[in-house]
Amino acid sequence: MKPAELTKGAVVKWLRERRGAKVSEPSLKASFILLSRFCSWLSAADIIEANPCRAVPTVERPQDSPKRERPWLQDETVVRALVFALPPSYALMFAVGRTCGARPAEVCGLRVADTDRLEAEGVLTVRGSYDQGMLKEDKGRGGARKSKLAPIHDPTVAGALLGLAKRRREAGAKDGDRLFDHLLAKPGAMRTAWARAFKKAKAAVEAAATRVAGEPVTIPTKWYDSTRHSFASDALAHGARYEEVSKALGHASVATTARYYDRQVERAFATLPARNLGAPVQEAKVLAFPDRKASAS
């Protein structure tokens, strides 16, 4: 199509055709946003008069997928069982993700120097994903890369990380070398390795729990749900502020955190009125306000 042919009607027709082809709403929304940015550039260059995407009615625009309930791991007994069932190196990676909410890719991308602030300040410096020196929030743009501070409140996990960094330096590793050196080079191989290790550990824990309970026991979470998602859900469900959790997760805004985790805050807030049910009503002091007519006269 020529730029002049990009009208509101043409965009709406394209959206309907894509929906007829069973394109998912998130994918359609991404394409729609890309088209809108392109049309904004055309408008700024006076190639077209206005961005037709902005005139598309709300009912025709791609919508976000409805939020679904994602399971999160609340039982600390199960968490400890998984840690002991995992191989030592993967167990520490799992514990890091569970403790500070780092993404699996960010845990894999930790460098030796990222532990330098851990002993004094209790935080990890997270700078990259896998072997790329950028976070997901960078989106591949800009010269200055973002970084975030991930809190490590568990002294056992902090001590294990410091010990690992010390051993790596004694073995000749430099500040920019990978902290978890047992991982393979390519991101795909890393994902396969930790996913396979977690699957085996999960199966072992489920089998042991089934023998004790006498009935099938399943753990409804994967690595991501058991670490980052569980960290955020547990923190918010126990009264942490959105701002705190958002900073720890590295979200671009608090609105992003609220979008994915507001159900945990709703549940925590819903229990507040029930705590005072049946409590005696406190005597209130009644304030007598003067009559307006009397005061005016």
Q: CA end-to-end span of the chain, whole Å?
A: 78
On the 0-12 / 13-18 / 19+ scale of CB atoms within 10 A, 120 is exposed
pTM metric for this prediction: 0.71
Residue 203 and residue 211 in contact, taking contact as beta carbons nearer than 8 Å: no
Name the nearest CA neighbour of 163 among 94, 107, 89, 109: 89
Q: pLDDT: is 264 or 48 the higher one?
A: 48
Query: Averaged over 167-184, what is the pLDDT?
Result: 91
pLDDT digits (tens, 9 = 90+) for 57-77: 989 999 876 666 788 888 889
Question: What pLDDT score was predicted for residue 284?
Answer: 47
Residue 136 and residue 284 in contact, taking contact as beta carbons nearer than 8 Å: no
